[in-house]
Amino acid sequence: MLSIGLMSGTSMDGIDAALLSMGDDQSAIKDLGHTSLSYDTKTKLLLKGAEYSIRNAKGVMTTAHRHFPTDLFNYIANELQLPDPTKTIKTLMQYLYGAEQPIKLQDVIQLSTNLHIDCVKKLLIQTDYSTSQITVIGYHGQTAYHQPSVRLSIVLGNPQHMANELDIMVVYDFRRQDVEAGGQGAPFAPLYHHVIAQRDNITPAGIINCGGISNITLIQGKDEADLISYDSGPGNALIDLFVRKKTMGVEFMDVDGTYGRKGHPHKATLDALHEKALFINGANYLHMPPPKALDIGDIILIPEVMNLSINDGCATLETFTAQTIVQSLALIPHHHAKEKLYPRRWILCGGGWKNPVIRHTFETELKTYIPDMLTIQIADEAGWNSTAMEAQIFAYLAVRSLSNQPLSLPNTTGVPNPTPGGTLYQPNKD
C-alpha cells in the first residue's frame, strides 16, 4: 500500500510531502521519497493573518470569515508594524486575485489547499509514481487554533477539493475525535515513532521533535500502551515571532542560528520566560505533568525579550527552548521506572535542530541532567529522514485511519481510551 503524507507546521515556512510503502498491517514501512514546497513571503503573511483572525474569533469561524479583511490589516499594521500596511494589503490582493478587491478567508484557505496539491504533484513527478498507484493521502492541514480545554481544534484546508483534483482518497481532520473525547489533540507523532523504532530495533529510545512546538516521545518497549509523549514547550515558535517583529516582517526565522550565535542569553529574561511565557487556564504549563499539549497561541513573547537586541533575543529564546525540553523530563509521573524514562539513545527530528544554538544547549543540558553515556543523533544519523518525518507521520496515520485503528492513546494525548481519528474524503467524479 502506498500512502502520501502532507504537513505544514505552525512555523508556516512551507509544506512537506512524503511517500511511504507499507504492508496491509502497517508493517515493513519503507520511505519512497520526499519533497517540499517553500512558502514565499506573501503566502506566509496571508496564512499568519488567517491564524491571527481565527484566534481573535476564539475559533468561531463565521466570525473570522466576517472580520478577516480588518484582522489582516491589523495583523500587518499592529503585530508586524510594517511601515505601509495599506501598500502591503494591495500587494497581497494582486498576488491572490490579480486585482484590488477585499481578501476573503476562504480564498486564503483555498490557496493553502492548492499549494498542498501542487506539492503532491511535485512528489509524484520526482518519485515517478502516478495518482492511480496511491491508496490514500494523509492531509494534516494548517493548524490555526488549538484549544483542547474547550474541545476545539481548527485546521485549514479543503480536503474534498484535494480528493477531487488528485482522484485519491484523502484523510483529514486527524485531531478532532481525540479533542472531542477529552484528549489534548497532540502530539500525534508517537505511534509512528514507535513503529519505526520497533522496525529498526532501537528501543528504548527518546525522540524529540523540534518544530514550532517541541514534543517528546519516550519508547520503552514493544507495547504501544507504554508510550509516553507530550509537548514540552516552544520549539521555533517564539524565535520566529521575535525575528518577524524585529525585522518588521522581512525575515521569518533565525536561519541556522545566525543571530543567536552572535548573541548571549540574558539570564534575567530567561528567568522571566520560565515564569511568564506559558500559562494555560491560570497555570504555568512548564510545571504541568504530561500528557499535555500546547497551542502556538499559548506561548507569549514577553516584553522583556523585545527589549533585547536581535542577537541576544535569539540566543535567549533558543536557550529557553533547549532548557524547557530537558527540564520537562523531571515532570514525567513517578510511577514509571526511572531506568525506562531516560533511555541512552536520543533521536532528534524537526527543523529546530538545524539551529546550532538550540542543539548545543540541549546536548549540554541533557548530558548534565542524565550524566550517563548517551547517544544523541539527528534522525538522519539514525537512518531516518529528519526532513520528511512529520509528513511521514500523517502518511502512516492515514492508513491506520482507514482501518479505524487508534491514532491516539491515554499516555500520548491524555484521551480516556485509545481513539481512532480522521475523516475520509472520497473523490467526487461528478
Residue with cell 549540554: 364
Beta partners for residue 172, in sequence order: 423
Determine, yes or no, domain membership for 397: no
The H-or-E segment that residue 30 falls in is strand 30-38
Rounded distance, CA 191 to CA 306, Å? 38
Determine, yes or no, domain membership for 191: no
DSSP letters for 259-292: TGGGS---HHHHHHHHHHSBEETTEEGGGPPSS-
Q: Is pLDDT above 50 for 423?
A: yes
For residue 337, the model assigns a pLDDT of 42
* Same-domain status, 153 and 249: no
| Residue (of 402, 397, 399, 424) closest to 413 by Cα position | 397
For residue 162, the model assigns a pLDDT of 98
Determine, yes or no, domain membership for 300: yes
**CATH number, domain containing residue 106:** 3.30.420.40
User: Per-residue pLDDT tens for 118-164?
Assistant: 999 999 999 999 999 999 999 999 999 999 989 999 999 999 999 99
For residue 340, the model assigns a pLDDT of 45
Rounded distance, CA 336 to CA 338, Å? 6
* Same-domain status, 309 and 371: yes
* Same-domain status, 90 and 208: no
CB 64 within 8 A of CB 54: yes
For residue 325, the model assigns a pLDDT of 97
Q: Is pLDDT above 50 for 88?
A: yes
For residue 334, the model assigns a pLDDT of 57
Q: Among residues of the chain, what percentage have pLDDT more than 70?
A: 97
Determine, yes or no, domain membership for 391: no
- Look at the chain and report how many structural domains it folds into: 2
**Average pLDDT rounded to a whole number, residues 79-85:** 89
- Enclosing domain of residue 13: 1-183+419-430
Average pLDDT, the chain: 93
Rounded distance, CA 168 to CA 278, Å? 40
* Same-domain status, 210 and 318: yes
User: Per-residue pLDDT tens for 221-235?
Assistant: 888 888 899 999 999
The crossing angle, in degrees rounded to 10, of helices 105-127 and 41-56 is 130
Beta partners for residue 136, in sequence order: 3, 169
Determine, yes or no, domain membership for 189: no
* Same-domain status, 241 and 127: no
| Residue (of 128, 36, 11, 70) closest to 392 by Cα position | 36
Q: Is pLDDT above 70 for 23?
A: yes
For residue 326, the model assigns a pLDDT of 96
**Average pLDDT rounded to a whole number, residues 390-409:** 96
Determine, yes or no, domain membership for 387: no
* Same-domain status, 112 and 174: yes
DSSP letters for 56-94: HTTT-HHHHHHHHHHHHHHIIIIIS--S-HHHHHHHHHH
* Same-domain status, 356 and 424: no
Determine, yes or no, domain membership for 167: yes
CB 75 within 8 A of CB 52: yes
CB 102 within 8 A of CB 49: no
